[in-house]
């Protein structure tokens, strides 16, 4: 479990827009031919949409494709919590076979969402590799999974829930709320 005893308030959070630019800079060197971006709903998809614009030149140069995953059908808490009322279709409009996949999430926490996303990806085909990138690693992983690239490490207490929000103009912000149920994938 996490070693973090950090309890923060919203004013102490980093600026999501700045983090996005840091992430874009770090990601750039990973973009090569035969790479594809996959955003995990919802936050990961928002981040991907922004990255597609920020890195437009290199994405066009290497003809990098992109898709989205909603991992609802692969979550490990289905038996306890059932299916979420809102789920969206996953859309992977390219052949996953032998692709270098960059998986994009907003907040990395337990690693359970990543496991679900990887399981789903393999049902589309066998990728050459999967790299995980996230805006923030908040600590507290429960599986041997970790992001290779993050814009910031922000160890947080399990009593707090960190969420990415998107405003109507597409700009991103971070939001801290009390966590009602302890573990959340």
Partner 1 sequence: MNNPQLDTDGQLRHLLSIEGLPKKILNQILDTAESFVGVAEREVKKVPLLRGKTVCNLFFENSTRTRTTFEIAAKRLSADVISLNVSTSSQSKGETILDTVDNLIAMHADMFVVRHAQSGAAHLIAKHVPPHIHVINAGDGRHSHPTQGLLDVFTIRKYKPELHNLRVAIVGDVLHSRVARSEIHALTTLGVPEVRVIAPKTLLPTQVEKLGVHVFHDMNEGLKDVDVIMMLRLQSERMNGAMLPSSEEYFKTYGLTQERLALAKSDAIVMHPGPMNRGVEIDSTVADGKQSVILPQVTYGIAIRMAVMAILGGGAGATL
Residue 94 contacts partner 1 per CB under 8 A: no
What are the Cα distances from residue 23, in Å, to 17, 19, 27, 76? 10, 6, 6, 28
Instruction: Give the Cα separation of 131 and 104 in Å (integer).
Output: 9
Q: Which residues ranging from 13 to 52 are in contact with partner 1 (CB under 8 A)? A: none
Q: Which is nearer to partner 1, 3 or 86 (CB)?
A: 86
Instruction: Give the Cα separation of 43 and 180 in Å (integer).
Output: 20
Residue 98 contacts partner 1 per CB under 8 A: no
Instruction: Give the Cα separation of 82 and 149 in Å (integer).
Output: 32
Packing angle, helices 43-54 and 16-28, rounded to 10: 60
Residue 119 contacts partner 1 per CB under 8 A: yes
Instruction: Give the Cα separation of 97 and 58 in Å (integer).
Output: 22
Instruction: Give the Cα separation of 108 and 153 in Å (integer).
Output: 10
Among 12, 25, 88, 159, binds partner 1 (CB under 8 A): 88
Candidates 17-25, 81-89, 131-139, 151-159; binding stretch for partner 1 (CB under 8 A): 81-89
Among 10, 21, 61, 78, binds partner 1 (CB under 8 A): 78
Q: Which is nearer to partner 1, 143 or 146 (CB)?
A: 143
Among 11, 29, 80, 182, binds partner 1 (CB under 8 A): 80
Using CB under 8 A as the criterion, which residues of the chain lie in contact with partner 1 when the complex forms?
70, 72-74, 78-83, 85-92, 96, 119-120, 122-125
């Amino acid at each position: 479990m996490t070693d973090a005893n950090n309890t923060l308030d919203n004013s102490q959070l980093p600026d999501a827009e700045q983090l996005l630019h840091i992430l874009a800079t770090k990601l750039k060197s990973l973009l090569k031919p035969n790479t594809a971006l996959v955003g995990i709903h919802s936050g990961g998809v928002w981040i991907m949409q922004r990255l597609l614009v920020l890195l437009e030149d290199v994405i066009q140069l290497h003809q990098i494709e992109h898709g989205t995953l909603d991992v609802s059908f692969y979550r490990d808490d289905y038996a306890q919590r059932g299916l979420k009322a809102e789920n969206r279709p996953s859309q992977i409009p390219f052949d996953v076979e032998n692709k270098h996949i960059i998986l994009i999430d907003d907040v990395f926490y337990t690693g359970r969402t990543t496991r679900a996303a990887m399981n789903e990806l393999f049902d589309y085909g066998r990728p050459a590799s999967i790299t995980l990138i996230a805006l923030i690693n908040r600590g507290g992983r429960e599986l041997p999974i970790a992001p290779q690239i993050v814009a910031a490490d922000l160890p947080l207490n399990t009593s707090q829930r960190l969420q990415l929000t998107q405003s109507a103009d597409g700009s991103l912000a971070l939001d801290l709320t009390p966590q009602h149920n302890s573990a959340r994938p």
